Amino acid sequence: MQIWVDADACPNIIKEVLFRAAARTGVVLTLVANQAIPKPRLHNIRAIQVSQGFDVADNEIVKRVAKNDLVITSDIPLAAEVIAKGAFALNPRGELYSADSIRAKLNIRDFMDTMRASGVHTGGPPTLGQSDKQAFSNHLDTLLTKYVKKQAD
């Protein structure tokens, strides 16, 4: 298992949780962004800087992700693509996407895009809170525990 982070939009508080988890477990963590992202100097934490452009970082993640990898993203289409490849997708608010839930999320996203295109102001998501961080940490810990246990067997 590797962890891939859609790092351009990932909140710093979530990156810090990921850095601690990677340091603790030794799992390979890769940040993918179109800008330089500061990271700890650990052998298992990497950063890939891609060129500017629409979905360039997303496309790089999709190209590299493997079955049973974990992708951290709030991008619904990216989550759908990695789930289709057999990977897991977890958003920074702690929601673990599944093959069943991602279709509904895509429909809602498309509907909201249509609303915005017609001039309706839909607002953005609420600020990331402590409960979101806790939900994220809990799902991450569950997935990493399963991975570490599988490695030990």
Q: Whole domain around residue 130: which residue ranges?
A: 2-152
Number of domains in the chain: 1
75-121 pLDDT tens trace: 999 999 999 999 999 999 999 998 888 776 766 666 566 766 777 77
Q: Which CATH number do you get for residue 122? A: 3.40.50
Comparing CA positions, the residue from 115, 124, 151 lying closest to residue 25 is 151
pLDDT tens digits, 33-61: 999 999 999 999 999 999 998 889 999 99
> pLDDT at position 13, please?
94
Task: Give the mean model confidence (pLDDT) for residues 119-129.
Answer: 74
What backbone phi and psi angles, to 5 degrees, belong to 5? Answer: -120, 125
The answer to whether the predicted template modeling score (pTM) of the entire model surpasses 0.75 is yes
